[in-house]
């Protein structure tokens, strides 16, 4: 199972777990990972809430 794909020529990062694609490779490699981390946390929290209500 793929987790994340880095496409350097296009400057694209795709996280396959949450179907998120960002065209900010340079910024992410410089440490600006807030958008990716925020999206991962949002999906994780939604999964936890769904599990609690099941």
The mean pLDDT value for 8-15 works out to: 97
Instruction: Please report which helix (H) or strand (E) contains residue 44, including its range.
Output: helix 34-53
Total domains in the fold of the chain? 1
pLDDT of residue 54: 79
pLDDT of residue 16: 97
Q: What is the pTM (predicted TM-score) of this model?
A: 0.83
- Between the two ends of the chain, the Cα-to-Cα distance in Å is 26
Q: Write the CA distances from 8 to 14, 17, 25, 42, integer angstroms.
A: 11, 20, 7, 26
- 31: domain range? 4-53
In the predicted model, is pLDDT for residue 12 greater than 90? yes
The mean pLDDT value for 22-37 works out to: 96
């Amino acid at each position: 199972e793929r987790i994340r794909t880095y496409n350097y020529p296009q400057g694209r990062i795709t996280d396959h777990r949450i179907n998120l694609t960002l065209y900010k490779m340079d910024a992410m490699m410089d440490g600006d990972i807030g958008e990716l981390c925020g999206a991962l946390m949002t999906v994780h929290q939604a999964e936890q809430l769904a599990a609690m209500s099941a």
